[in-house]
Amino acid sequence: MFDLAIVGAGPAGMAAAEVACEHGMRVVIIDEQDRAGGQILRRPPSQFTVRNWLPQRVYRHLHALYARFTDSPSLTHLNNTSVLGISQAEHGFTLQILSSTQSKQGLQPLDAKRILIATGCFDMPLAFKGAQLPGVMATGGLQAFLKSQQIIPGDKFLFVGSHPLQLIVANQVLAAGGDVAGIMFTQPLSAMLRVARSPLVLLRQLPNILFIMGVVIQLLAKRVPIKFGTQLISAEGEHALERVKVKSAKSSGELQNIDCDRLGICFGFLTNNDLLRQAGGHCEWSQSAGGWIATHDDGMRSSVPGIYVAGETTGVAGANVAYFEGRLAALSANLDAEKISTAAYAKACNTFRGSLTATRDFAVLLAQLSYPGDALIAGTMDNDAYLCKCEEVTVGSVVNTLADNPDVTDLNALKLLTRCGMGHCQGRYCHYQSRFLLARERKLAPEILGGFTARFPARPTSIKDLLGTQSTDDLES
C-alpha cells in the first residue's frame, strides 16, 4: 500500500515526488515513457548517451530536478507503465496498471491511499484536407524524435501553426542537420506583438523571453522564412506528403505550394484528463485553454477527496507552472495525511506562491497569443477532411448526419450515429474538433455540450492483457 501514487513523471510529477518523499510518504510514480522528464526533457532511452543534453539555461532547473528525483532511494519508479483505470476502494484507491515491458503479467492492481494525476497534454489536432497523409505530424511528435531518439524524421520540414513552439522545434531540426522550408504563423504579426502590452509579465519570465528571442535570431541568420497571417489550405501528395498549399489570410492572397515531406502542425495543446474524468473528477470545458480543465481548490485538490491534480491537467500552462503546482499538490497531500502541520504547510507554500502566480500570468498571456481562433478552426474544415481519422469519418458526413438528425445535441449521440470517436484512440484526437463542429452546427456554446464519456481502459489494450491479474505487493519490498 502506497501513501501516494503519482501518475505522470513530467515536471509536476517529479516535483511532487520530491516533496512527498521529503516528508516521509511512501510514493510510487508511474509513467508511460522509458525515463522520467516529460515532453519538455524527453530524455533518450537509458541505453543512449548524449553529450550536452539540452544545455540552454531554461532547462537547468529541470535537469537539477531530474537528478534529485532519480537519486531518491525512497521512491518506487514504474516506467513503461500505463494506468488504465482508477476505482475507489475502502483503503483509498485501486489503480489498474499495465507494463509494456512485462505485458505477460497482464493487468495488475496497485493500491494507494491518495493519487496525484499529472498526466500532461498532447498536441491539438486540426481537421484539414490531407491531414491523414503520411508526413503530416504534430510538432510535438517531431520534437520527440529529435529529443529522445536523435533522429531527423524527414528531409524537408514546413511548420504551420499559432504556437511559438514551432520556432523552437524548427531550430532543433536545423541544429540536427535538417532542412526547414519555412515557419508559418496563422496570426498577423500585430497580434503577436500585443504581448508587449504586458511588460511586467514578460519581465518576470525574462529567461524564457530571451530564449525565444535567441531562437528567432538563429532562424533569421540561417535565412529560414518566418511568415505571419498565413492560412493553411491543404496537404497534398499521391501516397505521402509532397507539398502543402497555403495562402495569405488577406482576401487577395494568392495560393502558394510549398514542397516538403514533413508538415509540423502546431496549434496549441489539449489536456490529457481521461483518467481524472473516469475517476469522477469534475472538469470544465475551455475552448481556448486546452479542452477539459480539472477543477481544484487552492491546494490542488480535485473534486474527488484523495485525488490531487497538477500541471497541464489544470490547464495548459507549461513546465514552470507544472513544477510549482506539483510541489503544492504534494504539500496538500502531506497535510491531509497529517505528515506536516498547518503552520509548516503554510510556510512551505508561501516560499513559492508568488512564483506560481507569476508563471500562471505568463501562461495565460501565452494561451491568449497562441489560440488559433474559431474562424481558423472552422476555415480549415473542408468537407472532405477527416474529422475522425481512426474511423475515416469526414467533416461532410458529420454535417449531413447532423442535418438529418436535428435533435442531436450530445457528442455521445453523434458518436453512435457516425462512429466518430469509436476508433483506436477512443476519441482522444477528434473530441475537440467534434465538439467544435457540433457547437457550430447547433449554434451552441461548446462549454454546455456533453462530451465523449471517459471509460475504462484509458488506453487501447488487448483482451489478453485485461485477463491477466497479478499482485503488486512485491513492488513495496
Residue 401's domain is classified under what CATH number?
A: 1.10.10.1100
- Residue 474 clears pLDDT 70, i.e. is over it: no
Mean pLDDT (whole number) for 261-266: 97
Q: By C-alpha distance, which of 327, 456, 376 is closest to 127?
A: 376
pTM of this prediction exceeds 0.85: yes
More confident: 122 or 149: 122
- What pLDDT, on the 0 to 100 scale, is given for residue 103? 54
Cα-based distances in Å from 155 to 151, 152, 199, 234, 287: 11, 8, 39, 20, 34
Residue 256, domain member (yes or no): yes
Among 220, 240, 266, identify where a domain stops. 266
Residue carrying the nine cell digits 522509458: 34
- pLDDT tens digits, 80-104: 999 999 999 988 999 999 988 765 6
Name residue 283's beta-bridge partners.
Answer: 294
- What pLDDT, on the 0 to 100 scale, is given for residue 477? 46
CB atoms within 10 A of CB 52: 6
- Residue 471 clears pLDDT 60, i.e. is over it: no
Please state, in angstroms and rounded to a whole number, the distance separating the CA atoms of residues 407 and 427.
Answer: 22
Q: By C-alpha distance, which of 10, 4, 3 is closest to 318?
A: 10
Mean pLDDT (whole number) for 436-448: 91
Q: Are 419 and 408 in contact (CB under 8 A)?
A: no
Q: Are residues 205 and 331 in the same domain?
A: no
* Cell numbers given for 339: 505528515
Please tell me the total count of domains within the chain: 3
Residue 475, domain member (yes or no): no
Cα-based distances in Å from 82 to 1, 31, 117, 423: 18, 7, 13, 19
**Whole-number percent of the chain with pLDDT over 90:** 70
Q: Are residues 136 and 117 in the same domain?
A: no
Predicted confidence band of residue 46 (pLDDT cuts 50, 70, 90): confident
Q: Are residues 285 and 232 in the same domain?
A: no
- pLDDT tens digits, 280-308: 999 999 988 899 999 999 999 999 999 99
Q: Are residues 417 and 393 in the same domain?
A: yes
Q: Are residues 138 and 233 in the same domain?
A: yes
Q: Are residues 165 and 115 in the same domain?
A: no
- What pLDDT, on the 0 to 100 scale, is given for residue 312? 95
Residue 473, domain member (yes or no): no
Residue 219, domain member (yes or no): yes
Q: Are residues 240 and 133 in the same domain?
A: yes
- What pLDDT, on the 0 to 100 scale, is given for residue 466? 80
| Averaged pLDDT score across all residues of the chain | 91
Q: Are residues 136 and 191 in the same domain?
A: yes
Name residue 29's beta-bridge partners.
Answer: 6, 77
Residue 79, domain member (yes or no): yes
Domain containing residue 182: CATH number? 3.50.50.60
* Cell numbers given for 50: 548524449
- What pLDDT, on the 0 to 100 scale, is given for residue 252? 67
Predicted confidence band of residue 462 (pLDDT cuts 50, 70, 90): confident
Among 218, 240, 266, identify where a domain stops. 266
Cα-based distances in Å from 440 to 271, 381, 402, 409: 22, 12, 11, 11
Q: Are residues 133 and 245 in the same domain?
A: yes
Mean pLDDT (whole number) for 439-450: 88
More confident: 94 or 425: 94
Question: 414 is in which domain, residue-wise?
Answer: 381-448
Distance of CA 365 to the CA centre of its chain: 18
Residue 374, domain member (yes or no): no
Predicted confidence band of residue 251 (pLDDT cuts 50, 70, 90): low
Between 12-21, 41-50, 193-202, 226-235, the lowest mean confidence (pLDDT) is in: 41-50
- What pLDDT, on the 0 to 100 scale, is given for residue 469? 53
- Residue 171 clears pLDDT 60, i.e. is over it: yes
Q: Are residues 18 and 117 in the same domain?
A: yes
- What pLDDT, on the 0 to 100 scale, is given for residue 56? 85
Mean pLDDT (whole number) for 327-349: 96
Among 248, 266, 284, identify where a domain stops. 266
**Max CA-CA distance within the chain?**
69
Between 148-152, 319-323, 345-349, the lowest mean confidence (pLDDT) is in: 148-152
Q: Are residues 196 and 97 in the same domain?
A: no
Mean pLDDT (whole number) for 392-414: 94
Residue 400, domain member (yes or no): yes
Q: 157-194: b or e for each residue (b if 16 or more CB lie within 10 Å)?
A: bbbbbbbbbbbbbbbbbbeeebebbbbbbbbeeebeee
Residue 463, domain member (yes or no): no
Q: Are residues 201 and 100 in the same domain?
A: no
